[in-house]
Amino acid sequence: MKKNSIPAGGSYGTRIADLYIVHNLAAVNGSSRHTYHAMPPVGWMNDPNGFNEAFGKYHLFYQFYPYGPSWDSMHWGHYTTQDFVKWKLEPTALAPDGQDDRDGCFSGCSVVKDGKLYLIYTSVMGDRQTQSLAVSSDGVSFEKLGVVISGEQLPKGCLKTDFRDPKVFKRGEDYYLLAGALSEKSEGMILLYRSRDLKKWEFAGTIRRDNLTTRGIYECPDFFELGGCDVMFASPQGYRTDDWRYENVQSSVYMLGKLDEKTGVFEKTYEDEIDGGFDFYAPQTMKTSDGRTVMIAWMQMWQRFIPTAKHGWAGAMILPRELSLKDGKLFQNPVREIERYRWNPVHFGNVIIGNRNELTKVNGTKIELCFTLDLGTAKRVGIKLYQGGEHDARIYYDRERDRVIFDRSRMGVEISHDPEEKDATVRSVKVSTEGNRLSMRIFLDVSSCEVFLNGGERTMTGNVYSDGSGVAFFAEGGSARIISLDKYDIVV
Ligand code: FRU
């Protein structure tokens, strides 16, 4: 969207938002802006919504407050893309200007049906949360159709105040909808509803009900089939820390199993955290017409100080990831389209770390790094990123703890955080180091760092606000070796 190109159509609220956007685009300071990640044109972004393919392109909607870089009355912003890398800003899709959603159009999903794109979202009025429908026949402007699931359709003992984030999938002739809810006893719940036409819904069962969500509910549930297995996502508000898992104040979890959609019973066989970094929340998936399951997520976290706010924007999305199941676990890899944007390849083989820690032409802040380490005898071995002066962020293997650590404590900017969160500067994950080897694929984009370990076995996502662009390997307490390294500039 460019200045003087305010689209026709839309509602009163979306037109005001679009006017505001075009007149304020230039006021956003570009210094920390990403180049190949979706971020708000101005203002605030949180959860991805309605991620889908329709009208020959991929659509990403998102929780959006245009008028300032902090969370406020929620709109649905809209981007489209052909490749998950280049994002085209579209007119704002929903604004909180309807009779049922005056206090916010909260998170939800989209469904393509009979050549139309339907948005199913949480409509907020005062302290009441209901599920509403909107429709578009061109994928650009949306007409609200009103509430389709009200608080009256909650099972007994549920609060009408916390009932949100619908995600719809189809099985046979029927549509099913998952939503987060809260019981009167403060239990987090995931509810299931059934419909033939997206308009009339009936309650079908309770998928999950427990007291693990100590700060609220299971937000943003998602559901899909992958490799013959049912996969459910949820973003619990507060979740008990399990050794090195779930250290953020809100987490994202995946569950494998089998859902009986007739009863809502989900036989869970495995559960784990989706990403072991700092900034990853509310993931949502879509199926592409070429058969992939692609996930996107908010690359931020609640209750944190966000340094880019002073530049007029806050929040971004991860680089979308392709999901697969391997050895009964979820594997994540960046969308393959990113490889089309690789430039200036640099290759090194067999480098002893210690002799040459900084490699010629291996630096930058918009880059991809792929390397395999022979961990040798080093106590700690890894890489420093965004290095300059005293500042850096480090990703390394710590032999004593047998974990990979993401340490952003030296990045030069303090991230204040919720007192309940132990710290917002160090995260760790366990991965296999079979054969004393470890491989990493790392994407930097000005102020972000996404790490894929061992071909997607684990990932760590975090924002890094530093002024440096150096890259250096390091080994402490012994020797180690880079078996091979490839570096590319990512140019979009
Ligand atoms: C998750 C969330 C959702 C809600 C939305 C509001 O981050 O709290 O539960 O729909 O954000 O913006």
Summarize pLDDT for 462-487 with one digit per residue, the tens: 999 999 999 999 999 999 999 999 99
Q: How far is residue 62's CA from residue 78's CA, in Å, rounded to a whole number?
A: 6
Ligand 1 atom at minimal distance to the Cα of residue 281: 7
The strands making up 281-287's β-sheet, listed across from edge to edge, are 281-287, 293-298, 321-326, 329-334
Q: Is 83 considered catalytic here?
A: no
How high is the pLDDT of residue 241? 87
Verify that 150 and 114 share a domain, yes or no: yes
Give, for ligand 1, the residue of 219, 235, 248 to mutate: max count of ligand atoms closer than 8 Å to Cβ.
Answer: 219
How high is the pLDDT of residue 465? 96
Q: Give me the DSSP letters along 333-360.
A: EE-GGGGGGEEEEEEEEEEEETT-SS-T
Verify that 304 and 358 share a domain, yes or no: no
Q: Is position 406 within any domain?
A: yes
Does the pLDDT value for residue 221 go beyond 60? yes
Q: Is position 5 within any domain?
A: no
Verify that 297 and 402 share a domain, yes or no: no
- How many degrees, rounded to 5, is the angle at CA 453 between CA 450 and CA 455? 110
Candidates 432, 479, 428; CA nearest to 456 is 432
**227 CA from centroid of ligand 1 (Å):** 29
Ligand 1 atom at minimal distance to the Cα of residue 122: 10
| CATH number, residue 348 | 2.60.120.560
Give, for ligand 1, the residue of 71, 107, 253 to mutate: max count of ligand atoms closer than 8 Å to Cβ.
Answer: 107
Q: Is position 2 within any domain?
A: no
How high is the pLDDT of residue 247? 93
Ligand 1 atom at minimal distance to the Cα of residue 108: 10
- List, for residues 322-366, the tens digit of each pLDDT value: 999 999 999 999 999 999 999 999 999 999 998 779 999 999 999
Verify that 298 and 370 share a domain, yes or no: no
Ligand 1 lining (C-beta closer than 6 Å):
46-47, 63, 74, 106-107, 122, 164-165, 219-220, 282
- List, for residues 363-409, the tens digit of each pLDDT value: 999 999 999 999 999 999 999 999 998 999 999 999 999 999 999 99
**440 CA from centroid of ligand 1 (Å):** 32
How high is the pLDDT of residue 420? 83
| CATH number, residue 229 | 2.115.10.20
Which H or E run includes 309? none
pLDDT category of residue 1 using cuts at 50, 70 and 90: low
Q: How far is residue 413's CA from residue 278's CA, in Å, rounded to a whole number?
A: 15
Residue 193 DSSP SS3: strand
Output the CA torsion 45→46→52→58 (10° steps).
30
Report the domain count for the chain. Answer: 2
CB 378 within 8 A of CB 464: no
pLDDT category of residue 7 using cuts at 50, 70 and 90: low
Q: How far is residue 126's CA from residue 130's CA, in Å, rounded to a whole number?
A: 11
Report the pLDDT averaged over residues 268-290.
98
pLDDT category of residue 285 using cuts at 50, 70 and 90: very high
Query: In percent, how much of the chain has pLDDT > 70?
Result: 98
Does the pLDDT value for residue 10 go beyond 90? no
Out of 313, 334, 355, pick the residue that ends a domain: 334
Give, for ligand 1, the residue of 44, 45, 47 to mutate: max count of ligand atoms closer than 8 Å to Cβ.
Answer: 47
Beta strands, E only, 95-227: 105-113, 116-125, 128-136, 143-149, 158-171, 174-183, 188-195, 202-210, 218-226
pLDDT category of residue 416 using cuts at 50, 70 and 90: confident
Verify that 329 and 374 share a domain, yes or no: no
- List, for residues 173-206, the tens digit of each pLDDT value: 999 999 999 999 999 999 999 999 999 999 999 9
How high is the pLDDT of residue 320? 99
**120 CA from centroid of ligand 1 (Å):** 14
Verify that 348 and 264 share a domain, yes or no: no
CB 27 within 8 A of CB 109: no
Ligand 1 atom at minimal distance to the Cα of residue 47: 7
266 or 1: which carries more pLDDT confidence?
266
Report the pLDDT averaged over residues 143-156.
98
Verify that 314 and 343 share a domain, yes or no: no
Out of 300, 334, 368, pick the residue that ends a domain: 334
- Please pick, among 47, 279, 374, 407, the residue that the annotation labels catalytic: 47
How high is the pLDDT of residue 461? 98
CA distances to 104, 167, 296, 481 from 284, rounded to whole Å, are 20, 9, 6, 38
Verify that 88 and 100 share a domain, yes or no: yes
Report the pLDDT averaged over residues 298-314.
96
How high is the pLDDT of residue 422? 82
pTM assigned to the model: 0.97
Q: Is position 7 within any domain?
A: no
Q: Is position 292 within any domain?
A: yes
Verify that 246 and 356 share a domain, yes or no: no
Average pLDDT across the chain, whole number: 96
Verify that 329 and 342 share a domain, yes or no: no
Report the pLDDT averaged over residues 138-149.
97
**335 CA from centroid of ligand 1 (Å):** 25
Does the pLDDT value for residue 3 go beyond 70? no
- List, for residues 47-90, the tens digit of each pLDDT value: 999 999 999 999 999 999 999 999 999 999 999 999 999 999 99
Going by alpha carbons, the residue nearest to atom 9 of ligand 1 is 219
> Domain range spanning residue 435?
338-490
Out of 276, 304, 334, pick the residue that ends a domain: 334
Verify that 304 and 356 share a domain, yes or no: no
**105 CA from centroid of ligand 1 (Å):** 10
How high is the pLDDT of residue 5? 58
Ligand 1 atom at minimal distance to the Cα of residue 219: 9
**47 CA from centroid of ligand 1 (Å):** 7
Verify that 329 and 388 share a domain, yes or no: no
